[in-house]
């Protein structure tokens, strides 16, 4: 057999092997606070989403990673972004933050003032995008599930959520509007106007139903990002 035929055979064989190489998993990282920290535990929203992907035959397409720390605010995310996010080289980063920025203003005086929230948020997104990550943003859901606008932080949550909505349009970022989704769900399912026990255990952290709900809301957006 001539050397040319041998080389041609090796080339064809290598192309066949290359064509059967499994696609690289798309790495999705969830960046946030204690809600996301709990998301990687059994029953947490990240684990629930992982189960959803398995059921849909997509577990070989996506790798889900949680990077949540309890008590974190937007500036905490900025400060730990290099080690906790960029070193993992994610393809998609889902930013789910804002509850503590609002909640801790009244509970401990350590929240984030509205103008600083926006500046830090944009800095986080810009740094992620500079590293080649695609970014999905989320509005903070609830601090209390009452449906009559009587939760103490409703005003601030709406204010900060409106900023995220406007920013997502201005920066052309996919949005998971958890605040709107939670309010809509509670209007239909919280007929007794309870402050917790529907989608949250303590007005903030998620019940089993809440984890499923968040997983579904997030996946509906993640699957559209190419």
Tell me which fold the domain 27-222 belongs to.
Answer: Rossmann fold (3.40.50)
Banded pLDDT at 20 (limits 50, 70, 90): very low
pLDDT for residue 90: 98
pLDDT for residue 110: 81
**Alpha-carbon gap, residue 10 to 17, rounded angstroms:** 11
Q: Taking 90 as the threshold, does the pLDDT of residue 124 lie above it?
A: yes
Banded pLDDT at 105 (limits 50, 70, 90): confident
Closest CA to 141 of 101, 95, 99: 99
**What does the domain layout of the chain look like in residue ranges?**
27-222
pLDDT (average), residues 31-51: 98
pLDDT (average), residues 3-20: 52
195, two tokens: 């402050």
pLDDT for residue 109: 73
Closest CA to 139 of 91, 112, 187, 174: 174
* 3-state SS assignment for residue 62: strand
> Is the distance from CB of 35 to CB of 44 less than 8 angstroms?
no
pLDDT for residue 8: 52
**Alpha-carbon gap, residue 195 to 169, rounded angstroms:** 31
Q: Taking 90 as the threshold, does the pLDDT of residue 146 lie above it?
A: yes
pLDDT for residue 24: 86
pLDDT for residue 199: 98
């Amino acid at each position: 057999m001539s050397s040319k035929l041998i080389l041609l055979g090796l080339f064809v064989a290598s192309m066949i092997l290359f064509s059967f190489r499994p696609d690289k998993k798309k790495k999705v990282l969830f960046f946030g606070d204690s809600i996301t920290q709990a998301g990687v535990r059994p029953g947490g929203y990240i684990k629930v989403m992982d189960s959803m992907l398995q059921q849909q035959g997509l577990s070989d397409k996506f790798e889900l990673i949680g990077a949540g720390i309890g008590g974190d605010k937007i500036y905490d995310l900025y400060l730990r972004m290099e080690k906790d996010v960029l070193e993992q080289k994610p393809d998609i980063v889902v930013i789910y933050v804002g509850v503590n920025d609002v909640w801790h203003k009244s509970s401990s005086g350590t929240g984030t003032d509205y103008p600083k929230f926006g500046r830090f948020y944009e800095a986080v997104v810009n740094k992620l995008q500079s590293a080649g990550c695609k970014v999905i943003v989320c509005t903070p859901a609830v601090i209390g599930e009452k449906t009559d606008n009587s939760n103490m932080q409703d005003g601030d949550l709406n204010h900060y959520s409106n900023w995220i909505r406007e920013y997502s349009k201005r920066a052309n970022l996919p949005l998971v509007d958890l605040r709107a989704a939670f309010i809509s769900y509670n209007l239909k399912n919280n007929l007794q106007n309870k402050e917790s026990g529907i989608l949250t255990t303590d007005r903030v952290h998620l019940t089993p139903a809440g984890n499923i709900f968040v997983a579904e809301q997030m996946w509906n957006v993640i699957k559209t990002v190419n």
